[in-house]
Amino acid sequence: MSFQHQHAAHCESGVISNLLRHHGVPMTESLAFGLSSALSFAYIPFVKISGLPLIAYRMPPKSIIKGLMAPLAARFRFETFRSAAAGQQRLDGLLAAGKVVGLQTSVYWLPYFPPDMRFHFNAHNLLVYGKSGDDYLISDPVFEEPVRCASADLARARFAKGVLAPKGLLYFPEAIGRQDVTPAAVRKAILKTCRTMLAPVPIAGVRGMRMLANKVAKLPPADAHTTAFIGHIVRMQEEIGTGGAGFRFIYAAFLQEAATLARMPQLTAFSDRLTAIGDTWRAFALKAARMVKGREAVDPAAIASKLRDLAALEEAFFRDLKAALP
């Protein structure tokens, strides 16, 4: 079966939904994201990205792929390599055998990304479905059309160093036991997301939002580090892997599908409600960006207040969603 590329909002959910459709599973990006319980929030001050704390709006890399294994009774193979040569040899062998292969890469070393979009982020997923001469044929879901990448460039992207170093990671399905999604699997996935967002852990879920708000509130207004910190929040939210608002919109779309799949029409109202929360995240990012660009005075207290408002909105949302489950 020839591979069909489809554009997506996020790399990992786009890759896995494209890969599963290639293997006959009717999977949308939003269903992959929701069914794997990928929505989250985490403020992790002890993990640094360019010297600033990691702020995440979804579960860690590979969690979307691995989260779909149980509901689909699937088995995937994941492989890493000690050298670029070994990684390329294995990839070429799989392609020669007709496999479509998922890779984890660094955005910075992929030359088909525009220069202003390249940054050192080592958890970008893409699919390789063939090779022509020295070029790999790539389905990168954040691009509207398939792209090509020279072998040396792809090797560099696969073996980039730093946080979340991919180590040449490749993956592909070995078996998929189910082609459909059960109502029970949908309900179980939603409950897991509710538990994640309401977890009694200081750095996770709505508590993580409040912890970040407390950190921001203590920053001095007229300080270069403060401006950089606020800019970092915006970048982690809106530029790195779809971000906070985008993930809320994807999950809202999942709830719309889940209303039918799980025979729970009440989820439609929750979908609308989460879309509105996503709009609030976007408004927050806009205000923060205006401060960073000098269009508004840098005001850490205002940023902290909006983060606390968002935490309150999401806490109420996930408590109500959890209570609505059978």
Please write the tens of the pLDDT for every residue from 252-262. 999 999 999 98
Q: Which residues of the chain have pLDDT under 50?
A: none
Residues 218 and 309 in one domain: yes
pLDDT, residue 50, reads 78
CATH number at residue 77: 3.90.70.10
139 strand-pairing partners: 127
In a domain, 2, yes or no: no
Residues 168 and 203 in one domain: no
How many structural domains is the chain composed of? 2
Residues 210 and 288 in one domain: yes
Residues 169 and 279 in one domain: no
Residues 76 and 155 in one domain: yes
Residues 154 and 210 in one domain: no
In a domain, 296, yes or no: yes
| Three-class SS of 290-323 | HHHCCCCCCCHHHHHHHHHHHHHHHHHHHHHHHH
Distances (CA, A) of 121 to 54, 83, 97: 12, 20, 30
Say which residue the tokens 């670029």 belong to: 84
pLDDT tens figures, 175-202: 999 999 999 999 999 999 999 999 999 9
Tallying the residues shown for the chain, one arrives at: 326
In a domain, 6, yes or no: no
- d(CA 90, CA 77) in angstroms, rounded, equals 13
147 strand-pairing partners: 138
- d(CA 248, CA 276) in angstroms, rounded, equals 9
Range of the domain at 304: 183-324
Enter the pTM of the model: 0.91
Residues 156 and 196 in one domain: no
Say how many Å lie between the first and final Cα of the chain, rounded: 40
Domain boundary pick from 115, 148, 176: 176
Residues 159 and 202 in one domain: no
Residues 249 and 123 in one domain: no
- d(CA 165, CA 50) in angstroms, rounded, equals 14
- d(CA 322, CA 147) in angstroms, rounded, equals 42
Residues 95 and 155 in one domain: yes
Residues 103 and 146 in one domain: yes
Domain boundary pick from 176, 198, 219: 176
pLDDT tens figures, 64-74: 999 999 999 99
Residues 141 and 251 in one domain: no
pLDDT, residue 121, reads 80
Domain boundary pick from 125, 141, 176: 176
- d(CA 76, CA 101) in angstroms, rounded, equals 11
In a domain, 216, yes or no: yes
pLDDT, residue 100, reads 97
- d(CA 324, CA 120) in angstroms, rounded, equals 41
In a domain, 45, yes or no: yes
| Cβ burial 288-305 (10 Å sphere, 16+ → b, else e) | bbebbeeeeebebebbbe
pLDDT, residue 244, reads 65
In a domain, 4, yes or no: no
